[in-house]
A and B are shown apart, each in its own frame.
Chain A
Amino acid sequence: MKAIEIVKMARDPKRPHFFDYVKGMCSDFEELHGDRLAKDDRGLVGGFATIGGEKCVLLGHNKGATVEENVAANFGMANPDGYRKAMRLMTLAEKFGLPVVTLVDTPGAYPGREAEERGQAEAIAKSLEFCAALKTPIVVVIVGEGGSGGALAIAVGDRVLMLENAVYSVISPEGCAGILWRDGSKAADAAEALKITAADLKRLGVVDEIVPEGANGAAKSPKTAIANVKKRVLAALKELKKLDKEELVARRYGKFRAMGRFN
């Protein structure tokens, strides 16, 4: 399949989103709101969750299921408040010995006036520094669109899983085509060149494991996709729980430190 076709699948509004995963894999979910500074961002949500008997903090981008939700959540494009809320919830997880599970699904961090004024750059930067040093396991699942810094801000983890038809990229194919091809309609070429599919990312060492989606992808087989995510997340948590906290953080540092050492 061509990369651009996978991009279309990753963006399919019928794909399971955050609250579909909550419904499909959590026996309990208690959403917690707000960053304690300015707002409760709807583009990035989270709370206490129980997955297969395992208590954790579950966080993720929220694209929304209805038009009203889409608009309230900026289609999963988080504001700085979303990243600050994520850090607050991860601090709770660390303090009370709960692992963190994040579901990544965003076109990118929201490019808005207020987002800039409240420090979109600083919020993402801080989240990267913060996640790298968090003393509790972090399991990341790229479930749909992994759009640039807005995705990465909650994707620095001990295990990075990726659904078969998800994509993860430094820039959208359209954005890249607009800059390097000077023609936004060359997105298909840019998608190919950027190497953004799960198979590419596994080969590049950015993703640890590819999660199969079932027949015709997650939009057509949401139950299979969600069940597979649940199974892989639980397996990863089981392994990570064995590690001592210092060892965990040292390995996480080593994992990211190794990404791009060529010369």
Chain B
Amino acid sequence: MAWLEEMTAAANVPPAKDLWQVCPRCGAYVPKAEWNAANPVCPRCNYHGRMKARARIALLADEGTFAECHADVSYSDHLAFHDATGAYKDKVEATVKKTGEGESVTIGTALMGGIPVMLGAMNFFFMGGSLGTGTGERICRACEQAIAERRPLVLCSASGGARMHEGILSLMQMARTSAAIGKLKAAGLPFISILTDPTTGGVSASYAMLGDVNVAEPGVLIGFAGRRVIENTIHQKLPPDFQTAEYLEQHGFVDKIVERKDLKAFVVKTLHYMGF
């Protein structure tokens, strides 16, 4: 069949994966250009796909107003952690190289609808958005800067939970970020927590759930324990909508589900109500 391969190569047709995006939820084939233009939201099932931190910030900040802070804070390999597949240091360095980011959260100052805010977004593509010591440090500094400059904090979470490669100190990030968020709130400043796909484990059980207002994108996964762990513990099948944003809204833990295209307007309006 060599003639066929030659013919196809000669036609210079781009491979299908460059033309089409398959929706991970409903399986629809969406033209790549349309998928990317919609800041990946599936036009058929309204699946709100995962976004890189900077793309998300671009969606929320007034154009050209975002100035990154605390970018010098990076991961720490204080345990010299190795597992079966190698060293944490090698994995995280590869991630830094691939993503161009130094940690799983990107934070800075910005205007939103003209209001000066501290704006941050977690990056699921950086070690699963896991909460490491560097992530925790950036969030604590963001809270402290927000207090010093009287800015509301708007933070988008996307994380599988704590970063176990950093051992017990990754767990401690839950405590110190929650303490810092508490200080911000006690200073009378708003914390708007935006929950995106996925927000689970140690991140859901710390700052992500502590918003004065918790907003979630439609259909996203939000929960503490993993579905399989729960099913194995209780020996029951869980309903399909378990741990979705809608399920959390029904049970009282999410204030509102807001589509991605409306997120910025919702945050700005909320900040107006809060006196900003």
Contact = CB atoms under 8 A, between A and B. Distances in A.
Contacts of B169: 204, 206, 259-260
A73 interface: no
Contacts of B230: 111-113, 116
Contact of B224 (A115, A128, A169, A171): A115
Interface in B49-93: 72-76, 78-79, 81-85
A149 B201 CA distance: 9
A263 B137 contact: yes
B167 A256 contact: no
Interface string A103-127: 0000001111101111111101110
A193 interface: yes
Interface of B: 72-76, 78-79, 81-85, 133-134, 136-137, 140, 162, 164-176, 178-183, 185-186, 201-202, 204-210, 222-226, 229-230, 233-234, 236, 238, 242-243, 251-253
A257 B133 CA distance: 11
B174 A260 contact: no
A235 interface: no
B113 to A, nearest CB: 28
A195 B163 CA distance: 14
Given A182-B84, A196-B168, 4 more contacts: A109-B224, A124-B205, A129-B181, A133-B182
Contact of A253 (B134, B162, B179, B233): B179
A121 to B, nearest CB: 4
Contacts, number: 192
B42 to A, nearest CB: 26
A1 B32 CA distance: 56
A179 interface: yes
B164 A129 contact: no
A120 B225 contact: yes
A120 B173 CA distance: 18
A251 to B, nearest CB: 12
Nearest to A261: B137
A180 B229 contact: no
A4 interface: no
Contacts of A161: none
Given A156-B175, A259-B176, A129 B85 contact: no
Nearest to A127: B178
Classify the interface of chain A: helix, strand, loop or mixed: helix
Contacts of B224: 109, 111, 115-116, 120-121, 124, 149
A113 B234 contact: yes
Q: Which of A133, A153, A183, A256 has its CB near the most chain B CB atoms (within 10 A)? A: A256
A50 interface: no
B171 A148 contact: yes
B84 A180 contact: yes
Contacts of B82: 193
A152 interface: yes
B83 A181 contact: yes
Contacts of A204: 78, 167-169
Contacts of A125: 174, 178, 204-210
Contacts of B76: 260, 262-263
Contact of A113 (B207, B222, B238): B238
24 contacts: A109-B224, A113-B242, A116-B225, A116-B230, A118-B251, A121-B204, A121-B224, A124-B205, A125-B174, A125-B178, A126-B209, A126-B210, A129-B178, A129-B182, A149-B174, A149-B201, A170-B164, A189-B84, A193-B83, A204-B168, A257-B140, A259-B169, A260-B133, A263-B134
A230 interface: no
Q: Which of B175, B176, B208, B222 has its CB near the most chain A CB atoms (within 10 A)? A: B175
Interface of A: 109-113, 115-122, 124-126, 128-130, 132-133, 148-149, 152-153, 155-156, 168-171, 176, 179-183, 186, 189-190, 193-196, 200-201, 204, 206, 253, 256-257, 259-263
A122 B253 contact: yes
B182 A171 contact: no
Contacts of A263: 72-76, 134, 137
B176 A260 contact: yes
B83 A128 contact: no
Contacts of B140: 257
A243 to B, nearest CB: 18
A156 B168 contact: no
A80 to B, nearest CB: 9
Nearest to B203: A121
Q: Which of B73, B81, B165, B182 has its CB near the most chain A CB atoms (within 10 A)? A: B182
A182 B83 CA distance: 10
Contacts of A186: 84
Contacts of A113: 230, 234, 236, 238, 242
A156 B84 contact: no
B204 to A, nearest CB: 4
Contacts of B75: 263
Nearest first, the 6 A-B pairs at minimum CB distance are: A260-B133, A111-B225, A132-B179, A128-B178, A121-B204, A262-B76
